[in-house]
Amino acid sequence: MKIGKNSWISPKASVYGGDTIIIGENVRIDDFCILSGGEGGLNIGSHIHIGAGVKLFGGGGLILEDFVQISSNSIVYSQSDDMSGNSLVGPCIPMEFKPGLQSGLTSLLRHVFLGANTIVLPGVTIGAGVSAAAFSLINKDCFSWKKYKGIPARIYGNRSQEILLLEEQFLREYRSRDND
């Protein structure tokens, strides 16, 4: 596992497939999280908070870009078994017996905010600046700078882009402190 400076992972978090996990700078991962790199890997950017009990499954590839915030007990999948009966299921079954496995790169772009208990399904791209209210189910791509809620998640408004100006100011100060 590669971890950037000023990043902290709770000793109560569980890590699987650490050789396929990359974590940027200034990342905080709280208690009882599960980080699973898997075959596709898990790439976590910088300035990210992952709340208590969050599960990140990178079997199909999972990318969290900078400034992503994931609230407690949310789950992000990049791979899911086929429940149709045409495929065996579970982690103890070899892949050749799981022809219906659904797997795909799952991406949370910059400034995505997931409320508590949100679930993201495999292969979804959540556009920059998206916020999802608590208990949302994201099962398809989300348009940038929109607010989503519900099961399944639907747009209910626009999200302000003021945070882009704040990001610029923050990064200027952060980099100037870093050069001192």
93 and 109 in contact (C-beta within 8 Å)?
no
Cα 81-14-21 angle, rounded to 5 deg: 75
Residue range 35-94, pLDDT digits in tens: 999 889 999 999 999 999 999 999 999 999 999 999 999 999 999 999 899 999 988 999
The DSSP string of 19-58 is: GGEEE-SSEEE-TT-EEE-TTT-EEE-SSEEE-TT-EEE-
Rounded to an integer, what distance in angstroms lies between the CA atom of residue 42 and that of residue 21? 5
Segment 121-176, tens digit of pLDDT = 999 999 999 999 999 999 999 999 999 999 999 999 999 999 999 999 999 998 88
Return the closest-CA partner of residue 57 out of 120, 132, 148, 134: 120
**Residue 150, pLDDT score:** 98
Phi-psi region of 148 (alpha: psi -120 to 50; beta: other; left: phi over 0): beta
What is the DSSP secondary structure assignment for residue 90, as one 8-state letter? S
In this structure, are residues 50 and 72 in contact, taking their beta carbons and an 8 Å threshold? Answer: no
Task: Band the pLDDT of 180: cuts 50, 70, 90.
Answer: low
What number is the average pLDDT over the span 106-133? 98
Domain that holds residue 24: 2-178
> What's the pTM value of the predicted model, to 2 decimals?
0.94
Number of domains in the chain: 1
- What rounded mean pLDDT belongs to the chain? 96
Cβ–Cβ under 8 Å, residues 79 and 38: yes
CATH number at residue 24: 2.160.10.10
